[in-house]
Structure 1
Amino acid sequence: MGKEETQERQEQKRQNTIRFIKATQELLDEEGLDALSIRKIADRAGFHNSTLYLYFNDVNQLILMASLKYFDRYSKALSQYSYKKLTPTDNFYTIWEVFCRIAFQRPQIFYNFFFGKYSDNLTEIMKSYYELFPDEVDNYSKEIGDMYYGKDFKERCRIILMPLIDLPDSHIHEDNVELANTIVVSCFKELLTQKCQDPELSDYKLTEEFLSMLTYITGLKLTF
């Protein structure tokens, strides 16, 4: 097999992978997560059901990659805040507030992404997706970039919690940061679960409730 033929096959694989992802994104918009099936996705992409397994481990991995479409507004907001030189406290609350507002709008998709199958390997999922869709990549400060590409939800949360250690009035210290982080993750997961179960719950009220939880846990408040 010549070099040109190999490159052609690689490009074909890339394009077919993109077709599967775009088909899944269309179905997520039209029918929602619960209505997805391998057959529907394959039909929309123009392939046989079994072809999916040539490009993805399973349908869960495909759905996870397709879900990154819904991170676009969050990603762009993070990019804008990255270079504003916020204090660690304001940076912490700003990231969480933006994330909550967007996550509560698509609770099932965000729950599946952060707490479903493959949620312990998000870095690789995200890198694979952005290699296919480089136009969706935004620029971040190092700290925010490390958080955004964290391997799982707990690591992402820890990265923005760590700068609060031993700040004046902070409840976060070296000896309790892991426990505090576990509580933060559990609180958010519980509110996101509530939103999945009752879509009529107010996104605004859920966000305010979670920010109040963060204030209680950290002892710190947003200053602007």
Structure 2
Amino acid sequence: MVKGKKEIQRARMWRYFLDAATDVIEEEGIQNVTIRKIADRAGYTSSTAYNYFKDLSHLKFFAAMRFTTDYLNELPDYMAKGKNTVDKWLYAWECFCKHSFEQPEIYSVIFMGNLGVEPEELLDHYYDVYKDDLSGLPETIQAIIMQHNFSKRSAQFIQGAVEEGFIKQEDVTLIADMTLMIWKGMMNTYMNHRRTDTKQEAAARTVHFVQQCVIRSIDPSRRDELAFNL
């Protein structure tokens, strides 16, 4: 459907503010982002910014999404290493942990921050403006990315492991929820300096815990079929 002038203008203004937010994040870090700083950088007033973003958490969410490009670009190559659904899922986790622990503040805003609304709504809005971010990605991966709820995203993907006979249907939701909690727990521990792990060590430890969680749900006779090896 062809967009009207108002929609085009709104998308243009949206980009102005997100470009400004991106600059502020690169210079000062996402924790120092404020509506006023972004509005000043974009050349508008704070009240104008609030015409396009309900509150600061939404603007930070959208701006943080701009920093996930490297993750999205690498994800297909990581998943291509796997020969079955479980393998592909574990390699996807390895890619996600690599990038999320590289930029913990960014990924915590996207997946852990209080947004006040359903994140799927924000995600749909973001990719409506930044369609190019998904161009070139396989449809299966696009479907994963567009599902913001991490547990649902995992459950949606590893459903294939049930069909392949690796995992029982009744274990899908449990695995999806447990692995998400593993990542959140490790991310919180890392960001609050409760361990002395480097970002690489924290990422590797998280993937190891996820791997162990999954392996324990697989029939021992099928484990040798997995190629993933951290």
Which TM-score band (shorter chain)? Answer: 0.7 to 0.9
Which residue in the other structure is 1:204 paired with?
200
Deviations 1:26-55 (A, max 9, x none): 111111122111111111111111111211
1:213 maps onto 2:209 in alignment:
yes
Distance in structure 1 (CA, Å) of the matches to 2:173 and 2:116: 19
1:177 maps onto 2:176 in alignment:
no
CA contact (8 A) 1:143 1:159 kept: no
Deviations 1:84-107 (A, max 9, x none): 773112211111101100000111
Give matches, 1:59-208, under 5 Å: 59-80=56-77, 86-118=83-115, 121-165=118-162, 170=166, 172-198=167-193, 201-208=197-204
Deviations 1:94-143 (A, max 9, x none): 11101100000111111111111238733332332233233332333343
Which amino acid in structure 2 is aligned with residue 77 of structure 1? Answer: E
Shift in alpha-carbon separation, 1:110–1:176, aligned structure 2, 3 A = same
CA contact (8 A) 2:64 2:110 kept: yes
Shift in alpha-carbon separation, 1:44–1:130, aligned structure 2, 3 A = same
Distance apart, 1:11 and its partner CA: 2.9
Return 5+ residue gaps in structure 1 as ranges: 1-5
Distance in structure 1 (CA, Å) of the matches to 2:39 and 2:103: 23
CA contact (8 A) 2:18 2:59 kept: yes
CA contact (8 A) 2:11 2:129 kept: yes
Distance in structure 2 (CA, Å) of the matches to 1:160 and 1:122: 19
Candidates 33, 43, 49, aligned match of 1:36: 33
Number of residue pairs matched by the alignment = 217
Return 5+ residue gaps in structure 2 as ranges: 216-222
Distance apart, 1:79 and its partner CA: 3.8
Which amino acid in structure 2 is aligned with residue 201 of structure 1? Answer: D
